[in-house]
Copies of this chain bind each other. A is one copy, B any other.
Amino acid sequence: MSQDPGLASWLQLALTPGLGPATFRSLLQQFGLPQAILARRRAELASLVSPAVLAALDSEEVSQAVARAHAWADQPGHFVITLADETYPRPLLEIPDPPALLYARGRVELLSRSALAVVGSRNATLQGEANAQTMAKALSEAGLTIVSGLALGIDAAAHRGGLGGAGSTIAVLGTGIDIVYPQRNAALAAEIATRGLLVSEFPLGTAPAGPNFPRRNRLISGLARGCLVVEAALASGSLITARAAADQGREVFAMPGSIHSPLAKGCHALIKSGAKLVESADDVLAELSGFRASGYASTTKQAPAPESGLLAHMGHDPVDVDALCSRAGLSADQVSSELLRLELAGRVAALPGGLYQRLEKAERR
């Protein structure tokens, strides 16, 4: 990432205090890529940027912040992904306010997977956490990457469930990517940085601050094809994420509960206004059926790896063992053991109902 000669310019603009994503996008629109923007005389930028921000742009503080970001990005498994990068998650290009750049740590290829947001209350019940984890694990096993916000309660349970399946998990932080918040999730964050992916749009060192969390929620929903709310009170951040999901054209899912549970009321309100009621992973998968086929396919330009014999007989739709036997001319035993091998290799996902689905191999860098 840090070898990219343009990255310094992206960072310089992104790290200038007062130069927000909307202004950044306006500059890109008017002047082209960051290198071209910065090559302009400063007076030319004045139509879009205030004098104070222009002064900050070439300040020593920003220069130091750029150097720190470069140093951070030089470490293994650390990435700075810009709007112009082919790794930039395509679903975010559909939302009205995509961040100019993302800091990411971990398995960056997860950004090209079909994903589901799973969010909910920080003060969840034990049963709610168990439900979130079970559901996230089943969906991850079906190939969906679980996106959440690393909060206590439902978020943490969703990440744990996601780590338990092939889809893994993405945590979108409301702080700088080098800050762990809340501290009680430090071990979980470390595990996600290794086996999943941490993502943040905020500059390194950004401490926890109220407004950044609801702002961050649009990325949780934006990265995903749908948003499942598991336990939420009527006034809760999870409902902000669900509303963002609906505004972004994502499916909204909610898990029902007792009419006497305050933590079911948010979910019930969502269902009343059109969210899909979810009792099981199947309910989500049914709505997202063919999620690989219509989903956000890998944008890698690498030549595809040669396909195993069985993969060549799998289209993009789920298929059962019997159909594969007849297509490939193999016995059920042969097909089953090959499927197991492909599943372990992350090339195939086992879906509910004895179906199997081919996974696109997304290798990025």
- Measured CB to CB, the residues of A under 8 A from B are 127, 131, 255-260, 264-265, 268, 271-272, 276-280, 283
Contact = CB atoms under 8 A, between A and B. Distances in A.
Instruction: Indicate how many identical chains form the complex.
Output: 2
Nearest to A279: B259
A276 B257 CA distance: 15
A125 to B, nearest CB: 11
Contacts of A279: 259, 265, 268
Contacts of A271: 256, 271, 277
B268 A272 contact: no
A127 B261 CA distance: 13
A283 B255 CA distance: 18
Nearest to A257: B258
Nearest to A272: B277
A259 B259 contact: no
B258 A280 contact: no
Given A256-B259, A257-B258, A259-B131, A276 B283 contact: no
Contact of A257 (B127, B256, B278, B280): B256
A272 B278 CA distance: 9
A38 to B, nearest CB: 54
Nearest first, the 4 closest Cβ-Cβ pairs linking A and B are A256-B256, A259-B279, A271-B277, A272-B277
Contacts of A283: 272
Nearest to A265: B279
10 contacts: A127-B258, A127-B260, A256-B268, A256-B271, A256-B277, A257-B257, A257-B258, A259-B278, A259-B279, A268-B277
Contacts of A280: 259
A258 B283 CA distance: 15
A302 to B, nearest CB: 42
A255 B257 CA distance: 10
Contacts of A268: 256, 277, 279
Nearest to A131: B259
A233 B37 CA distance: 64
A232 to B, nearest CB: 14
A166 B283 CA distance: 41
Nearest to A276: B272
